[in-house]
Amino acid sequence: MSVSFLLRRLFYGLILMVGVVILNFMLIRLAPGDPAMVIAGEMGGATDEILAQIRTDYGLDKPLMTQLWIYISGVAQGDLGQSFFFNQPVATLIAQRVLPTILLVITAQVLSIVIGVFLGVIAARKPNGILSGFVTVVATIGYAVPVFWTGIMLIVLFASIIPIFPVDGMQSMRLRGASFWVQALDVAHHLVLPALTLALIYLAQYARLSRASMMDVLGSDYIRTARAKGAGERAILFKHALRNAALPILTVAGMQFGNLISGALLVETVFNWPGMGRLAFDSILRRDYPTIMGVLFFASAMVVVANIITDLSYRWADPRLKGQ
């Protein structure tokens, strides 16, 4: 049952990805100007030779449907095109940068959910308490602060005032060649500020959401039943209530994943984090379209995967969905 659900979900994800590929294809052709010139990019040194190369590679002299077919089958074989600026296959470029982005995004997601939900649960116990007020205020502020600006402010704070965390890049040059654990620790050290920056906005939102969701759940009949059994306050909050309050939180966590990737784009730029966001920024400045499209494709694939994981965990969390 669950396997067929997973297969159905994967198939649907595949269709979405084909959609992204078609969209990429159409965008290049919708852009003003000669597609070959567009693909070559402004900085690519669009010599006649390169343009001719592109026209054969992409079949630009053939009918549109054939071009689409060439493009899709290329992507299916892992060929996302050639970056004329970096002079490398796009797939290679992305492969080098996908792990840092995943590391950043997942760390931020976990941090924001764990801390945010914890704060929200505690705040829900006293709807008019100090912590509740604090959560509301922080959520309102956190929502209004541009994430890149938070990052820059943290750089000021940690670069000049309390220099305990590195503010640039992912690794220290001097540790090249050190043992794995030393390097891993170094990466974690570099990860603190970017992940915190990215987590801060969502943390506040999760706190507000889980507070509201918990307050909703805490008023329900089955919580009263749990009290009538003699269950303790902690069991009521973290066992009886949170399992139910987690459902809307999960939904939002899934929907936020795309926004998180967008945020990562900005944060990577601020902290020089060598991920896909940084790559997107560099390639957009150079109008390196194959790379931009590759990043868009890959980032969308990450969202699709995240959605599938969300759906699965939702079904795990809510027994009412299992039979369906």
Partner 1 sequence: MKPLLEIEDLKVTFDTRHGAVTALDSVSLSVNAGETLGVVGESGCGKSITALSVMGLVPSPPGRVAGGAIRLLGEDLTKATDARMRALRGAEMAMIFQEPMTSLNPVFTIGAQIAEAIMLHQDIGADGAMKAAVELLDRVGIPSAKARARDYPHQLSGGMRQRVMIAMAVSCQPKLLIADEPTTALDVTVQAQIFDLLNEIQRDFGAAIMLITHDMGAIAEMADRVAVMYAGRVIETGTADNVLDNPRHPYTRGLIDCIPNIAKTEGELREIPGVVPPLHLLGAGCAFAARCDSADARCLREKPALRDHGAHPAACHAVEEGRI
Partner 2 sequence: MTTQIAAPATPKAQSPAREAWSMFVRNRPALFGLVLLGAIIAATLYGTFIYDVDPFEIVWAPLERPGVTPEFPLGTDYLGRDIFAGLLIGGGPTLAVGAVAALITMLIGVGLGALAGYYGGWIDNLLMRVTEFFQVLPALLFAMVLVTLFSPSLWTIAIAIGVVSWPQTARLTRAEFLRVKELEYVLAARAIGARNGRIIWRLILPNAAPTLIVSGTLTVGVAILFEAGLSFLGLGDPNAISWGMMIGANRDYILVAWWPVTLPGVAIFLTVLAVSLVGDGLNDAFNPKLRQR
Binding site for partner 1 (CB under 8 A): 220-222, 224-232, 240, 243-244, 317-320, 323
Q: How many helices (H) and strands (E) does the chain have?
A: 13, 2
Only segment of 55-63, 223-231, 287-295, 308-316 that touches partner 2 (CB under 8 A): 287-295
Among 103, 111, 261, 273, binds partner 2 (CB under 8 A): 261
What does 175 bind: partner 1, partner 2, none (CB cut-off 5 to 8 Å by kind)? Answer: none
Pairing of strands 82-83, 88-89: antiparallel
* Angle, vertex CA 162, rays to CA 265 and CA 275, nearest 5: 20
- Is 238 a binder of partner 2 (CB under 8 A)? no
In whole angstroms, how far apart are CA 200 and each of 86, 100, 194, 245, 251? 34, 19, 10, 21, 19
CA neighbor of 279 nearest in space, from 80, 105, 40, 93: 93
Phi first, then psi: what are they for 11, rounded to 5°? -60, -45
Report the alpha-carbon distance of residue 84 to residue 288 in Å, rounded: 7
Among 72, 106, 115, 155, binds partner 2 (CB under 8 A): 155
> Taking the complex as a whole, how short is the minimal distance between the CB of residue 228 and partner 1, in angstroms?
5
What does 221 bind: partner 1, partner 2, none (CB cut-off 5 to 8 Å by kind)? Answer: partner 1
> Taking the complex as a whole, how short is the minimal distance between the CB of residue 296 and partner 2, in angstroms?
6
Among 303, 310, 311, 315, binds partner 2 (CB under 8 A): 303
- Is 143 a binder of partner 2 (CB under 8 A)? yes
- Is 259 a binder of partner 2 (CB under 8 A)? yes
Answer whether 209's CB lies under 8 Å from 251's CB.
Answer: no
In whole angstroms, how far apart are CA 242 and each of 21, 118, 287? 40, 10, 47
Nearer to partner 1, 121 or 303 (CB): 121
Report the alpha-carbon distance of residue 155 to residue 229 in Å, rounded: 52
The pair of structure tokens assigned to 189 is 């050290």
* Binding region for partner 2 (CB under 8 A): 16, 19-20, 23, 27-28, 30-32, 38, 127, 140-141, 143-149, 152-153, 155-156, 159-160, 212, 215, 255, 258-259, 261-263, 265-266, 269-270, 280-281, 284-285, 287, 289, 292-293, 295-296, 299-300, 303-304, 307
